[in-house]
Structure 1
Amino acid sequence: MKKTLLVFLLLISSVLLNAHEFWLSPDKYFYTIRDIALIRFRVGENFTGENWTGNKEKIKQLSHYLPNGTQVDIADRLSIQKGDSIRLPLQTEGTHMVIFNSTNSHIELDSDKFNDYLKEDGLQTAIDFRQKNNETTKPGKEYYQRSVKTIIQVGDLKTDACTKPTGLPLDIIPFENPYASPAMAPADKLPTVTFRVLFKGKPLANLLVKTWNREKNGTGRMEEYRTNNRGTVKVKRYSGPFMVSAVYMERLNGDEKAEWQSYWASLHFEYSSFFSAVR
């Protein structure tokens, strides 16, 4: 019985450690004018996840970016009920974006789990700091917040507000509208697309960036990349639901509860399978 309980606790700890991907998930990606988009908050691993258990109290920012770039506060569309979703009327043709920034949450992990988490998300600066300051055997005390976006298309008009920076602390930005036709690639190669990553408006170099893709049979694919000195990253473009994610962490000083502040970002949309250059 004790052995079974231990295995269960270890399993739960592993899931909690790895299940920190978070994204906004629309019920579909292509709409017509006057449709209502249902957007859920998803959390989990391997780009499958479950419904988030947060609510309106966790909102720091929740905004709808219209195709012309106008930003509309939609925080009142999320209720106090845990796991609520957003129903968003779409009145304008073009490319729409919804962004969400959460308030801080607090977590404390034992030293091994925290070290594994830092390694998994490529947070080398934090790893180096802990090694230099003999903290590798100390638990990790951290605040974390989410900076997430989803992009959806209404009608045929492609607009470019989704390619501009937002007010999110950690912001993943596509160079091109993901619903526009991609540049053709050689027949034996996948096309590539470029993103930039900003932290408080400034580019982040050498940041680990992950891409997530679901194939038609439901199989998930994850690939890892690093930003260059300009904070940009070029990745392979796969058709279907697609997510780009990243984590950035900075050291805190003088806080009684936490020594680290992390920002977990994601950008979610769909790449069309109708273009012959895309597999």
Structure 2
Amino acid sequence: MFPVYGKLIIFANIFFIIAIDIPSLKSHEFWIEPEDYVIKIGKPLIANLRIGQNFKGDDLVFNENDFDTFTIISGNKSKKVTGRLGDRPPLNEVMDNLGLSIIVHQSKPTYLTYYDFDKFKTFSTEKGFPDIPEIHIKRGLPREGFSEKYTRFAKSLVLVDKYLGSDKRIGLELEFVMSTASLSRINKPIRFKLYYKGQLHPNAHVQVFTKDIQGVVKNSTYVTDLKGRIQIKYIPNTTSLINAVVIKSIDPDTNSGGAVWESLWASTTLHTPLHNSK
């Protein structure tokens, strides 16, 4: 989430300024979008970081000041994503491990100030927290000029040559884990578990965006069951973005931005193959 008006000015330590129009960044979802979800061993894995709505958005550049974690996990190996400030795409790494690789990105905490209470109400309701505006008033908080702290946790599942390996918990504060063993089995539902602070997270509002080869996007809403699970239909040759948000109250004295609310964002992207694969 970003302020609606003005410009965001990012000061780089190499003496230049990047100015980004905020209206293009005010939308919500953040995700990792590889150019290809299945690649050959020894070939580069190239991926963009995107922010937008309805599975369409703007590309972000590589900037170490923006993230706490940016890694590729292949089996028991972890490889830090490296680059130079301004690189686009921000991920371009040669892959030398067969099977499933998990791209992981955790942003640094960022702060947003609300000057329009209706925007806060709309956001919290859309993300499955319709009672939060009332709680805000009961806490005696102002209707404008209050701040929110937010952090984004993104994963993407990429296959290198073979359908080997499975998704696993990385230890993010809010995280999806695909519990379906393989994406190579057509007509089998794809199952996910949502974890919050290491525990399965029930009754959570989950948005699923699917994009076909023509670029047509469909949006569905799910609620995790008592064990924090959802399952989605397997649609061949389709890219999916799974997204969930947790919003919680925080003490303004406990954070540098004086925020009274904190939101945590989790996303996972994946692609389902057209045919059975081995």
Q: Which TM bucket (shorter chain)?
A: 0.7 to 0.9
Q: In structure 2, what is the equivalent of residue 72 of structure 1?
A: 79
After TM superposition, list the pairs within 5 Å mapping 1:166-185 onto structure 2: 166-182=170-186, 184=187
For 1:213 and 1:106, how far apart are their aligned partners in 2? 30
**Structure 1 unaligned regions, length at least 5:** 1-7, 185-190
Q: CA deviation at 1:180?
A: 2.8
Between structures 1 and 2, the one with greater helix share? 1
Q: Deviation string for 1:11-64 (max 9, x for gaps)?
A: x998755x2111111111111110101111111111011102561111211111
| Change beyond 3 A, Cα 1:24–1:261 | same
TM-score (norm 2): 0.83
| Count of aligned positions | 254
Q: In structure 2, what is the equivalent of residue 208 of structure 1?
A: 205
For the residue of structure 2 that corresponds to 1:230, the secondary structure is: coil
Contact kept, 8 Å, 1:114 with 1:139, in 2: the verdict is: no
| Change beyond 3 A, Cα 1:49–1:133 | same
| Change beyond 3 A, Cα 1:101–1:138 | same
1:107 pairs with 2:115 = no
| Change beyond 3 A, Cα 1:205–1:140 | farther
Counterpart residue identity of residue 258, structure 1: A
1:193 pairs with 2:197 = no
TM-score (norm 1): 0.82
Q: CA deviation at 1:178?
A: 5.0
For 1:199 and 1:78, how far apart are their aligned partners in 2? 30
Contact kept, 8 Å, 2:121 with 2:130, in 1: the verdict is: no
Q: In structure 2, what is the equivalent of residue 87 of structure 1?
A: 92
For the residue of structure 2 that corresponds to 1:49, the secondary structure is: strand
Contact kept, 8 Å, 1:41 with 1:83, in 2: the verdict is: no
Q: CA deviation at 1:253?
A: 0.9
For 1:34 and 1:13, how far apart are their aligned partners in 2? 38
After TM superposition, list the pairs within 5 Å mapping 1:152-171 onto structure 2: 152-160=158-166, 162=167, 164-171=168-175
Q: In structure 2, what is the equivalent of residue 26 of structure 1?
A: 34
Runs of 4+ deviating beyond 4 Å = 12-17
For the residue of structure 2 that corresponds to 1:115, the secondary structure is: helix
**Structure 2 unaligned regions, length at least 5:** 6-20
For the residue of structure 1 that corresponds to 2:132, the secondary structure is: helix
Q: Deviation string for 1:79-101 (max 9, x for gaps)?
A: 22275511111111111111010
For the residue of structure 2 that corresponds to 1:171, the secondary structure is: strand
| Change beyond 3 A, Cα 1:224–1:172 | same
For 1:227 and 1:138, how far apart are their aligned partners in 2? 33
Q: In structure 1, what is the equivalent of residue 14 of structure 2?
A: none
- Structure 1 range deviating more: 169-178 or 205-214: 169-178
Q: In structure 2, what is the equivalent of residue 96 of structure 1?
A: 101
Q: Percent identity?
A: 20
Between structures 1 and 2, the one with greater strand share? 2
| Change beyond 3 A, Cα 1:154–1:83 | closer
